[in-house]
Amino acid sequence: MYRYFIPSQYVRKVYDISPEMLLEQNVTGIITDLDNTLVEWDRADATPMLIEWLKGMKDAGIQVVIVSNNNELRVKSFADPLGIPFIFQARKPMGRAFRKALAIMHVKRENVVVIGDQMLTDIFGGNLNKFHTILVLPVAQSDGFFTRFNRMVERRIMKKLKQKGQLTWEEEN
């Protein structure tokens, strides 16, 4: 069961993921979380650095779909100015939103990565649905109410993975 919480890859931030790196892996689609993955959970708009990162992906022919458990107003107001398709109230780790994102992109599952900052939603959901998963460090040190609970559970999972020798990256404090 714990294997579903282990990401295929681990990076510090989304900016460590380059179009070249993804294209080498035949990736042409990204399903990404929003809050604390792309920007802080309480930041309304994309940063200039994120806009440049997204442009680099688009220029390389890599599609991006935001899949968030947050509400429509939050996700729409962030994604619409960027021209990025999105799915709100995704109910991750459930598979429906992941399948819907695939349909939006018209890309095969093996050509898509799931990027997120939470093991319980993004990584678990991505792994259950047989995607290559990339765990990033949370952008902000603070979280919303439900995410704080998830982080507590994640710390227990990480402790168990470390005990089993399955934690393949250094924990960040």
Distance separating alpha carbons of residues 42 and 3, to the nearest angstrom: 31
Q: Tokens for 20, please give them.
A: 């070249």
Residue found under tokens 């708009």: 45
Q: Tokens for 54, please give them.
A: 């997204």
Amino acid at 95: G
The one-digit pLDDT tens for each residue of the chain (173 residues) are 678 889 999 999 999 999 999 999 999 999 999 999 999 988 989 999 999 999 999 999 999 999 999 999 999 999 999 999 999 999 999 999 999 999 999 999 999 999 999 888 999 999 999 999 999 988 876 555 566 666 677 777 777 777 777 666 555 43
Say what the pTM is. Answer: 0.85
Domains in the chain, start-ordered, CATH in brackets?
2-163 (3.40.50.1000)
Distance separating alpha carbons of residues 82 and 76, to the nearest angstrom: 10
Distance separating alpha carbons of residues 137 and 163, to the nearest angstrom: 21
Q: Tell me the three state secondary structure of residue 79.
A: helix
CA atoms within 13 A on the CB side of 136: 22
Distance separating alpha carbons of residues 21 and 139, to the nearest angstrom: 21
Among candidate residues 45, 2, 12, the one with its CA nearest the CA of residue 117: 12
